[in-house]
Chain A
Amino acid sequence: MSSIKEKFNQISPSEFFYSNRDLAGFSNPTRSLYTAVREFVENALDACDQKGILPDVHLTIKAVDPDKSDPKPYILTVKDNGPGIDAEHIPLAFGTVLYGSKFGLKQARGMFGLGATMAILYGQITTNKPVTVKSSVDGATQDTFELLLDIQKNKPVIVKHTTKDISKTGLSVSICLEGDYSKAGNKIRDYVYETSLITPYASITFDDPKEQKFSHPRFVKEIPPPPTIIRPHPHGIDVERIRRMIVESQFEIPIIDDAMIEKVRKDLGLSVKNLSFTVIMDKGKKKWKTLPRQVRVVIALMSFLKMDFEKLNKIRIEDIDMPNKKLFYWDFGDSQSKSVDMDPEGQYYKQLTNTVQGEPLTTFLTKRFQRIGPTTAVKFAEFAGFKPEKRMGTLSNQELVNLSDSLQKFEDFMAPDSSCLAPLGEAPLEKGIKKFFNPDFTSVVQRSASAYSGFPFIIEMGIAYGGDIKSGGPHVYRYANRIPLLYDEGSDVVLKVVNDTDWGRYKVKGEPPFIIVSHICSTRIPYKTAGKENVADRPEIERELRLGLQLLSRKLAAYMSKRGQADMAKKRANLYAKYLPQIAEFCTELAGKKKEPNYKKLLEENAVESKQITEEEENKIGNK
């Protein structure tokens, strides 16, 4: 049994991903080129977002040998003006799988920076060329690394490392990989185009292998407020996660060696000479609040042992039996095990209990989860059938499962904190849509935050009609965490909601020129596949999408009916201009008159009337 387990551990993450690269979107040269572009561009944008830098991203794809036919090797370079990466971290960050800085709970395009490493790995597998990383953190010197991955050992191999002077911060990553631009080109251009719509504060350029330049300058100067890292919501938790949190909250009894004693002495601000037990205790009491946990534990132990540093040096703590209030230790001098009783009153006993048995349930809940106050914590304990002061370290496996279940079921928790989300905002979204499509009508909405399974999310949507938009709509632009989703749209929840809509009800008929933009922001987007292309139909998300779309559709319907009225007025004016002269002609002969009646007055009045209507409608629409 244990030997099998050992074998499992010996497979490195690199090896695992090497054999499962399809999962991450590297299934064929077309898809791989597209995925690699995405991963590097998204990393660049994420890096800039985190530091509040307006991003300048330059993407270049060049064929190694332009005369060869696809699929063939390409050099893909993505350069940004972000904060760069410290030289010491570069080999690990780009030369190992599962090394990353994006592990906190907040909205970002990528979760772990895994995809970029996958792209590097894919490039190395297909062309056997190293990745070139250029980085400057201080805007003065630039480190350039050429790296290969040792797949078996999941370790970087530095081929070359140079430094030179430079004037700007930023990161540039360049890989050589097998791709098929003739097939992937459309998607990549769409990706860059759609990314610039949802990232209006970024300037993105793309030099393609056919020497075409695509430039998307920024048109919004303010970067949206960055998300904050937050604690998890109880609804989004499972047993394994709780177990890890408990481990994080529990502490070993520190080993009391010379170094530890030295640390305690220093933290208490005591001089090096021998001090009596009482002096140490006095000082400890005074400074208690400012002391680190380890020091407090040592002082608590000393209080029960009634020993000074010298004596403490000659024993080893064996066991702390909290239920029987006994402290066992081994005395090196006497070479035997001894015990003392512990006084359960007072802060020292409490400190030890916390350390050995973990925090009480209520403290655990309020300190480690978002949006749980003491009252809710007590209520929950009652709901779940636990004593509020139940120590987390003493939970059995079964109790742990019960706790996890109850956390999911308890309905009185507040909705998840959405400060970890970074929606684009209504104004920039509207500005983007107007710039991209020059539409006759635009409306955007940002729904308030909601949650599915404890993960908060926000839906942003936009709708636009007419102008430069092609007919045959609705054309749907799907985004998740500021990433455009281009593949597999058939099975996507947004498409489902759009297709369920009876557009006739909203006065949209035929092959209308209109677009829908949807942006789902969440700490965890429920993608259906690892390729990050379509969002699963969680009922909570579907509901928010539906409500958002209904609101926008109603506004569109109001616009359409005004547009219809204006069209109608124009049509009517045309009708009068066509028929009134005929009526006049016929009735003149019928009435036996020579001169036609002066019907022009009617025409003019009518034209003025309908023109007024048109202008009024346009004003209304313009002011919205």
Chain B
Amino acid sequence: MATSKKEKTKIKERSKKADKKQKNILEMLKSHGAKIYDDLENGQFPKFSIPSRSVSNIVYDKKLRQYILGTNAAVRSSRNSAQLRSFTQLMWLAFFANRLTHEKKSSTLRDVYYSSQAFAIEFEDQSESDNIIVDLEAVTSKPREDFHIFPEERSSIFGDLTIEYTIPGYEGKTMNLSNHPDGYSIGPSLTTAELVDTSAEIVIAIEKGGLFTRFVEEQVDKKFKSIIINTGGQAPRSTRTLLKRLHEEMKLPVIVLTDGDVYGEHIAMVIKSGSANAAHLRELTVPDAKWVGVWATDIEKYKLPTIPMTESDIKRCYDLQKDPRYQDGIWKKELDVFLKLKRKAELEAFSKYGLTNITDKYLPQKLELAKSL
């Protein structure tokens, strides 16, 4: 199948776009490096400023509908002997990220921890290196995926979506994500790929792998013209990035289906408005994402089998009641009902009415409802 001229131009544009993004990252790292280089050359102790990630500096931005960092920033200076070690670690990480980006090689948090040892950089344990990675994100305001540092893959995607790889060896290659019924894991190559085309009209994010398989089996993608994404519990950041891109680049609405408990509600909230942990980043949220169930009110409505809430479930409810994002709408209402019921229901609870009940009955009702949310 010959590609048309029009298509070729599109491909070029897309690869240009990816190159440009890479170039931007490299430029930014270079400018940081140059500043430090000049400081040293001029006999100055190099330093840079890092936005403070302390609780007191995390504020909720109503306009952005997510948590962001306030204006407090800390200076990390190589003059300060107490900061010298972490300064050097951060310096090394920037250097390492620069190499990764340059060579288009991907790595994981754990890789970074072990790689440090080749350069005589000491990390006490992986959590120390993880922290430095977050420092780099905060300094550059870029997620680590931009530096080719990815989480372990555990979430997956299925549906009619054509992508074009940008990673070395696959550049220009396209792939449709409905060819393999187990779905496609959302890894570095998918995260960095260009989104080319889709016939889908909605993205359904679902909390559990079991239900994801059921949805594929029952051809939810075709029946409801949807892309199905398994978040595998709390959605990883690469998955959240993909959700955001599907929403913004492909103009697809996003709905979220979770277990009927407080943790499920919060999985949906994190997809919608991010987490306090990632308050230093702004490319991870889908503010228009909708949580469609399982709601606390659904438990009674559908007479679902329930299990009692644990003490930690209840504590979590009270914690979330203080969160500014849970002060109105269904978020507040459902939370209050959970607290009243003190019981929860899983997505699998619909199996009580037959294995396909959830796709045949519940999902259509919820999709209909989502339009009015």
**Which residues on A are within 8 Å of B, measured CB to CB?**
571-572, 575-576, 579-580, 582-584, 586-593, 597-599, 601-602, 605
Contacts and interface: CB of A to CB of B under 8 A. Distances in A.
A583 B30 contact: no
Contacts of B32: 590
Given A579-B87, A582-B92, A590 B43 contact: no
Contacts of B30: 590-592
B43 A601 contact: yes
B32 to A, nearest CB: 7
Nearest to A590: B33
B41 A583 contact: no
Given A576-B84, A592-B30, A587 B98 contact: no
Interface of B: 29-30, 32-34, 36-38, 40-41, 43-46, 78, 81, 84-85, 87-88, 91-92, 94-95, 98-99, 119-121
Counting chain B CB atoms within 10 Å of each CB, which of A584, A588, A590, A591 scores highest?
A: A590
Given A591-B30, A591-B34, A586 B40 contact: no
Contact of B94 (A571, A590, A601): A590
A597 B41 CA distance: 5
A583 B33 contact: no
A229 to B, nearest CB: 63
Given A587-B37, A588-B37, A602-B40, A579 B85 contact: yes
B40 A593 contact: no
A169 B216 CA distance: 117
A590 B32 CA distance: 8
A583 B36 contact: yes
Given A586-B94, A591-B33, A580 B78 contact: yes
A598 B41 contact: yes
Counting chain A CB atoms within 10 Å of each CB, which of B29, B46, B85 scores highest?
A: B46
Given A572-B81, A587-B46, A582 B37 contact: no
A598 B99 CA distance: 23
Nearest first, the 10 A-B pairs at minimum CB distance are A590-B33, A586-B95, A597-B40, A591-B33, A597-B41, A591-B34, A591-B37, A587-B36, A572-B81, A599-B40
B98 A589 contact: yes
Contacts of A598: 40-41, 43
A582 B121 CA distance: 9
Contacts of B44: 602
A584 B37 CA distance: 7
A591 B39 CA distance: 12
20 contacts: A571-B81, A572-B81, A575-B84, A576-B84, A579-B87, A580-B40, A582-B119, A582-B120, A586-B91, A586-B95, A587-B33, A587-B36, A587-B95, A589-B99, A590-B95, A591-B30, A591-B34, A597-B37, A602-B43, A602-B44
Given A590-B29, A590-B30, A579 B88 contact: yes
A272 B351 CA distance: 149
A590 B91 CA distance: 9
Contacts of A572: 81
A419 B94 CA distance: 77
Contacts of A589: 33, 95, 98-99
Nearest to A581: B88
A582 B33 contact: no
Contacts of B84: 575-576, 579
A588 B34 CA distance: 8
Contact of A583 (B81, B87, B98, B99): B87
Contacts of A590: 29-30, 32-34, 36-37, 91, 94-95, 98
A589 B91 CA distance: 11
Contacts of A580: 40, 78
B92 to A, nearest CB: 5
B87 to A, nearest CB: 7
A588 B30 CA distance: 10
Contacts of A591: 30, 33-34, 36-37
Contacts of B87: 579, 583
Nearest to B92: A586
B45 A592 contact: no
Contacts of A588: 33, 37
Counting chain A CB atoms within 10 Å of each CB, which of B29, B44, B84 scores highest?
A: B84
A597 B38 CA distance: 7
A583 B123 CA distance: 16
A345 B366 CA distance: 133
B120 to A, nearest CB: 7
Contacts of B119: 582, 586
Contacts of A576: 81, 84
B43 A583 contact: no
Contacts of B95: 586-587, 589-590
Nearest to A592: B30
Contacts of B38: 597
A592 B98 CA distance: 10
Contacts of B46: 583, 587
B106 to A, nearest CB: 20
A589 B40 CA distance: 14
Given A579-B84, A579-B87, A579-B88, A587 B40 contact: yes
Counting chain A CB atoms within 10 Å of each CB, which of B37, B91, B94, B120 scores highest?
A: B37
A589 B37 CA distance: 10
A583 B29 contact: no
A591 B86 CA distance: 20
Contacts of A583: 36, 40, 46, 78, 87-88, 91
B7 to A, nearest CB: 36
Contacts of A582: 88, 91-92, 119-121
Contact of A575 (B40, B81, B91, B120): B81
Contacts of B91: 582-583, 586-587, 590
Nearest to A568: B81
Given A586-B33, A597-B40, 6 more contacts: A580-B40, A583-B40, A586-B94, A587-B91, A590-B30, A599-B40
Contacts of A575: 81, 84-85
A473 to B, nearest CB: 29
Counting chain B CB atoms within 10 Å of each CB, which of A571, A597, A601 scores highest?
A: A597
A588 B92 CA distance: 11
Contacts of B37: 587-588, 590-591, 593, 597
Contacts of B121: 582
A579 B87 CA distance: 9
A605 B43 contact: yes
Contacts of A599: 40
A31 B249 CA distance: 96
Counting chain B CB atoms within 10 Å of each CB, which of A576, A589, A591 scores highest?
A: A591
A596 to B, nearest CB: 8
A573 to B, nearest CB: 9
A598 B37 CA distance: 9
Nearest to B78: A583
Contacts of B81: 571-572, 575-576
B40 A584 contact: yes
A571 B40 CA distance: 21
A582 B81 CA distance: 15
Counting chain A CB atoms within 10 Å of each CB, which of B34, B36, B120 scores highest?
A: B36
A503 B85 CA distance: 31
A286 to B, nearest CB: 94
A571 B81 CA distance: 9
Nearest to B96: A586
Contacts of A602: 40, 43-45
Contacts of B94: 586, 590
A575 B41 CA distance: 19
A607 to B, nearest CB: 13
A572 B40 CA distance: 18
A421 to B, nearest CB: 52
B256 to A, nearest CB: 40
A439 to B, nearest CB: 29
A567 to B, nearest CB: 12
A420 B81 CA distance: 58
Nearest to B45: A602
Counting chain A CB atoms within 10 Å of each CB, which of B32, B38, B95, B120 scores highest?
A: B95
